[in-house]
Chains A and B, each alone.
Chain A
Amino acid sequence: MLNFIDTVGEAVAGIKDGSTVMIGGFGNAGQPFELIDALMDCGAKDLTVVNNNAGQGDQGLALLIKEGRVRKMICSFPRQSDSWHFDSKFHAGEIELELVPQGNLAERIRAAGAGIGGFFTPTGYGTTLAEGKETRLLDGKWQVFETPIHADVALIKALKADGKGNLVYRKTARNFGPIMAAAAKHTIVQVSEIVPTGSLDPENVVTPGIYVNSVVRVDSAGPVDSADSNKKVA
């Protein structure tokens, strides 16, 4: 069931303590800052968050971590020059980390959305990140068994939605959006624009509306990049 919602606060209101929440974005590109801020305001805690990173600077996911709302991070690259909130929580033993190679992270999310029970991949074979996992020699390569990552909720950012919830993205801000939309039980999307049904070329729809539950329009000025290099996205 697709709903168009007026505010980000109403959009995230149903997120419960203990939920697994996928958050789109790679660095700041595609990160749904307004939805994350709303998640912060709604008070949900004890969350497992799936994102490529573990927050940057003093905004978005970084603040959620700072405020102790995140019990566990599933990500590929938590350590960055400006990931100080994650760093201090990690060193204090106040946050759990499941470190996943980026391609495995993406494919595990994709597998969840596609109803795949697991898959074998050569990535990580012979490394500490594959310790304890089943391995098989397939097609002449040693491969590691990886399981899907499911989520209760996905928070993602797209450029436009039409009245059917079909989505188009913008440049590399697409990143995890389409696969997270499919993997979560409930997908909440913030968009810059809601356009009339029929105005998106069906050939160019990236995420079909079947994966989308809630759409909220946000007048986004875009994130403030720590390198001060982000231009406003129209």
Chain B
Amino acid sequence: MSTQTSIQTSEKPLGRDELAQLVARDIVPGSFVNLGIGQPTLVSDYLTEEQNITLHTENGMLGMGPAALGDDVDGDLINAGKIPVTELPGASYFHHADSFAIMRGGHLDICVLGAFQVSATGDLANWHTGAPDAIPAVGGAMDLATGAKDVFVMMTLLTREGASKLVEQCTYPLTGVGCVTRVYTDKAVFLTGPDGVTVRETFGCTFEEIQELVPLPLKKAE
């Protein structure tokens, strides 16, 4: 009867904060984590003290604390999004080459990134729309995508036009090849890997309804 088992865990699709909460809950205690700019930053609001997570920011810091407010704002202490932040006890500073060695050297456990598209084999497209008049800007996206042990993506499953962002092959310029391990969306969580794409759980819809929306063969988690 396992094929009949529902993997729907929420009656409604998840909002941005609920999704951030879910990602936060899935981060293994003690991990070193880099949260990308935008939606992934929300994850930090839901990490608990018991999880003992150390946040990395690629502009040269481990042990980053919450956003700085009022008198705590210091122009010399910012995150990768150039937002003033705070330091936690046990924080450390290092130069840019060391900071990216932390990623490239495989020392980071998880990075959480936004995406335009993710492919069936875990290719990531999140840095450039490819529009001819757009000024390309890559920042640390390619380094993060290839460096962290696990790359989690947070995105809505569908574009505004209703097309799936989980695709057979990315049509936007790639950020990294075969790097994404999990995709958290408002409608479902997908696990990507060499064996294809598995749906771990669904929100506000059934596995079959997700399969209708996503144009590639999906497996249902046991």
Q: State yes or no: do A and B come from one complex.
A: yes
Task: For B57, list chain A residues within 8 Å (CB).
Answer: 172
Residues of A within 8 A of B (CB): 26-30, 52, 76-80, 86-87, 90-91, 97, 99-107, 109-110, 121-129, 142, 169-179, 206, 222-223, 225, 229-231, 233
Task: For A86, list chain B residues within 8 Å (CB).
Answer: 135
B74 touches A171 (CB 8 A): yes
Closest to A177 in B: B95
A172/B60 contact (C-beta < 8 A), A77-B138, A87-B135 known = yes
B contact patch SS = loop
A233 touches B146 (CB 8 A): no
Task: For B140, list chain A residues within 8 Å (CB).
Answer: 76, 101-103
A233 touches B173 (CB 8 A): no
Q: How far is the CA of A172 from the CA of B96 in the complex (A)?
A: 10
Task: For A179, list chain B residues within 8 Å (CB).
Answer: 95-97
Partner of B76 from A104, A176, A233 at Cβ < 8 Å: A233
B76 touches A29 (CB 8 A): yes
A127 touches B137 (CB 8 A): no
Closest to A128 in B: B173
Minimum CB–CB distance for A76 against chain B, Å: 5
Question: Does B156 touch A at the CB level, under 8 Å?
Answer: no
6 smallest CB-CB distances across A and B, nearest first, come from A103-B100, A230-B75, A103-B143, A79-B137, A126-B177, A106-B96
Partner of B96 from A127, A176, A230 at Cβ < 8 Å: A176
Q: How far is the CA of A68 from the CA of B92 in the complex (A)?
A: 39
Task: For A100, list chain B residues within 8 Å (CB).
Answer: 138
A126/B59 contact (C-beta < 8 A), A78-B137, A225-B75, A233-B76 known = no
A107 touches B100 (CB 8 A): yes
B95 touches A175 (CB 8 A): yes
Q: How far is the CA of A121 from the CA of B105 in the complex (A)?
A: 10
Partner of B59 from A29, A99, A122, A230 at Cβ < 8 Å: A29
